[in-house]
Structure 1
Amino acid sequence: MALITFVGFPSCGKTTRAAELSAQLALALPPHLSLVTVSDESLNIAPSVYDDSRAEKPARGALFTAIQRLMAQDTVLIVDAPNYIKGFRYQLYCAAREMKLRVCTVYVVATPELCREWNASRTDGRAYKPETLENLLVRFEEPSSMVRWDSPLFTIPWTEEVPVTQIAEALLTGSVKPPNSGTLAAAKAPSDALHVLEQTAIAMVSAIMDAQAATQGSGGLVTLSLSALSIQITLPSRNITLSELQRLKRQFVTVHKKAITLGTTEKGAVDWAEESVANKFVTYLEENFKP
């Protein structure tokens, strides 16, 4: 349904505002929607992980994994975490697009002086070390309504209330951006695709050599018998050597191996059946045969 990403300086009041928003959205949203908040605290991620970048990276990975797991069409997910890196917010945006969720960003604004004061007065065991706090303040990347992954952006100064009505409207009636090639999961080839690709190409080479011998190199349209298939190909009016066919076969197999092992986002269904591979090979050969 929707993803709400909270952003702000450390100890700026994000958790307090996230709790306020959750309580008020629970009254404003339809009953069929569930409201879930995921945070560093809910995942037992200690503030001390931000003392060291080597510890912070896996912690951020754990947060991202939890967010992906909780995303659903019947869930409004609130992410109450530092989220101070714009690259991480972009990751969240892409994951939301893949799930066809609405998104919005809530920027809780407080001055660095207030953040230092509130952090020093915390008694919940979630305070940052002073040097860590200063480091995070310097590294903070402010959200912007001009970029798609931070939009729509709701900015809440520490003296103002959460605009629940506007946020609820964005979640219920805002546009859902469809996935694009950058967010679509790659289609996976079947487990025997590599075997079918290699064996079909080998059989095609053998069948072409047999057809060429039967026509004595006159070329033209010929029909190849391939297992239970009949495949037509137009041969050039010259003698095609086995080494030339082997070279073209290797090139064809190499190109399509990449599509199998890395996945593909081609439009439409990707067919790795023997007949489809044979027809692809025919097209490749006809385009690469020299007159």
Structure 2
Amino acid sequence: MPLILISGYPSSGKTFRSTQLVDFFARKISQSPDPKVQRLKVHHINDQTLGLARDVYASARPEKDARAAFTSAIKRHLTRDVLLVADGMNYIKGFRYQLYCEAKAVQTPNCVVHVGTPVEKCRELNDAALESQTGGYEVDVFENLVFRYEEPNGMSRWDAPLFTVPFDDAHPPYDAIWDALVGSDGKGKVVRANAATVLKPAAEKDYLYELEKTTSEVVAAITTWLQDHPGEAGGQVFPAESRELCVYLPATAPSLPQLQRLRRQFTALNRQHALNKSRIRELFVDYLNDTFQK
């Protein structure tokens, strides 16, 4: 059953909202007369349940290992009879895309719940937790995480459906979340896996070479267009002779480092996918267009 990703700034109240959501799901299950719903279970994972200290975010290597542990826990518990509440910052867009792929690979729906606490309030709560020694992030770690936070966007398929819960919201949209993911009949939304999200070892010969080569060609096509059209807002780039694929550039032209970063994100997420090599260009263009919609 569904994967519910909780996302928000550090010290924004994510665990508080996650606990509310877990309690709400448990009540809905216990009150339902439908056997399909009654068999459901709710599971909550976060840094604390995984034994991860908050200082893992102080440097790149421990944080990478922490994300790997978080992903492994999701893979273990993501089954058809579990409502999985993944309580973490989930602040990296590429990481949310990876978890979206995990959910779609097992043909279960997912959503993102954004705890929309203003950064000033988060800073206040974090300082109070540090002062009382009840938690919180070290100041430099807190500020770094806030700076790097990539807010969810409901226009991106991996962040949709997106539910935002303001800090002072006394009535969060938990009923809407239930209806979107479980539904009144307990069957939930039907999700079909596809080649872009089924996680299998790469099998085609020279797959990794084609992945790097094709994505580099798309970036080169965009870079050439930007050089030939300086100062133009937006634009359409056709990175293939057939002109069936089109990259829709944003009003603010992406820089080469930005394009290379997006290329690295895409290739890192798809190294273990058994994608058809002929679809790599199409999927990368789709990934760029989703990103540029922000």
Common fold, TM-score beyond 0.5? yes
- Take 1:107 and 1:124, find their aligned partners in 2: how far apart are those partners? 26
Q: Once the two structures are superposed, what CA deviation does each residue of 1:123-177 show, in whole Å capped at 9, x if it has no partner?
A: 5643100011000011000001100001000001001132111011011135333
- Aligned position for 1:15: 15
Instruction: Report if aligned partners of 2:47, 2:53 keep a CA contact under 8 Å in 1.
Output: yes
Instruction: Report if aligned partners of 1:187, 1:265 keep a CA contact under 8 Å in 2.
Output: no
Report whether the alignment pairs 1:3 with 2:3. Answer: yes
Q: Once the two structures are superposed, what CA deviation does each residue of 1:209-233 show, in whole Å capped at 9, x if it has no partner?
A: xxxxxxxxxxxxxxxxxxxxxxxxx
- Aligned position for 2:181: 171
Q: 1:86 aligns with which of 93, 96, 99?
A: 93
- Aligned position for 2:115: 108
Report whether the alignment pairs 1:77 with 2:91. Answer: no
Deviation at 1:45, TM superposition (A): 0.7
Deviation at 1:265, TM superposition (A): 6.1
- Aligned position for 1:277: none
- Aligned position for 1:47: 54
Instruction: Report if aligned partners of 2:196, 2:275 keep a CA contact under 8 Å in 1.
Output: no
Q: Once the two structures are superposed, what CA deviation does each residue of 1:249-280 show, in whole Å capped at 9, x if it has no partner?
A: xxxxxxxxxxxxx99567xxxxxxxxxxxxxx
Misfit runs of 4+, over 4 Å: 262-266
- Aligned position for 1:148: 157
Deviation at 1:48, TM superposition (A): 0.2
Deviation at 1:120, TM superposition (A): 1.5
Instruction: Report if aligned partners of 1:4, 1:104 keep a CA contact under 8 Å in 2.
Output: yes
- Take 2:113 and 2:200, find their aligned partners in 1: how far apart are those partners? 31
Instruction: Report if aligned partners of 2:126, 2:137 keep a CA contact under 8 Å in 1.
Output: yes
Q: Once the two structures are superposed, what CA deviation does each residue of 1:82-113 show, in whole Å capped at 9, x if it has no partner?
A: 10001110011000000111111100011111
Report whether the alignment pairs 1:132 with 2:132. Answer: no
Runs of at least 5 residues in structure 1 that lack an aligned partner in the other structure:
190-261, 267-291
Q: State which structure, 1 or 2, has the greater radius of gyration over its C-alpha atoms.
A: 1
Cα–Cα, structure 1 residues 148 and 265, in superposed 2: closer, same or farther, change >3 Å? closer
Deviation at 1:185, TM superposition (A): 3.8
What does 1:122-271 align with in structure 2 at a 5 Å threshold? 122=129, 123=132, 125-160=134-169, 161-173=171-183, 175-186=189-200
Deviation at 1:25, TM superposition (A): 1.2
Instruction: State the identity %.
Output: 40
**Which secondary structure state, in structure 2, belongs to the residue aligned with residue 73 of structure 1?**
coil
Q: Which amino acid aligns with 1:183?
A: T
Q: Which amino acid aligns with 1:11?
A: S
**Which secondary structure state, in structure 2, belongs to the residue aligned with residue 182 of structure 1?**
coil
- Aligned position for 1:207: none
Runs of at least 5 residues in structure 2 that lack an aligned partner in the other structure:
30-36, 204-271, 277-294
Report whether the alignment pairs 1:117 with 2:124. Answer: yes
Q: Which amino acid aligns with 2:198?
A: L
Q: Which amino acid aligns with 1:170?
A: A
Q: Which amino acid aligns with 1:108?
A: V
- Take 2:15 and 2:198, find their aligned partners in 1: how far apart are those partners? 32
- Take 1:188 and 1:87, find their aligned partners in 2: how far apart are those partners? 20
Q: Which amino acid aligns with 1:168?
A: W
Cα–Cα, structure 1 residues 113 and 176, in superposed 2: closer, same or farther, change >3 Å? same
Cα–Cα, structure 1 residues 146 and 125, in superposed 2: closer, same or farther, change >3 Å? same
- Aligned position for 2:207: none
Q: Which amino acid aligns with 1:129?
A: E
Instruction: Report if aligned partners of 1:49, 1:55 keep a CA contact under 8 Å in 2.
Output: yes
**Which secondary structure state, in structure 2, belongs to the residue aligned with residue 121 of structure 1?**
helix
Task: Give the alignment's Cα RMSD to 1 decimal.
Answer: 2.0
- Take 2:274 and 2:69, find their aligned partners in 1: how far apart are those partners? 27
Cα–Cα, structure 1 residues 27 and 139, in superposed 2: closer, same or farther, change >3 Å? same
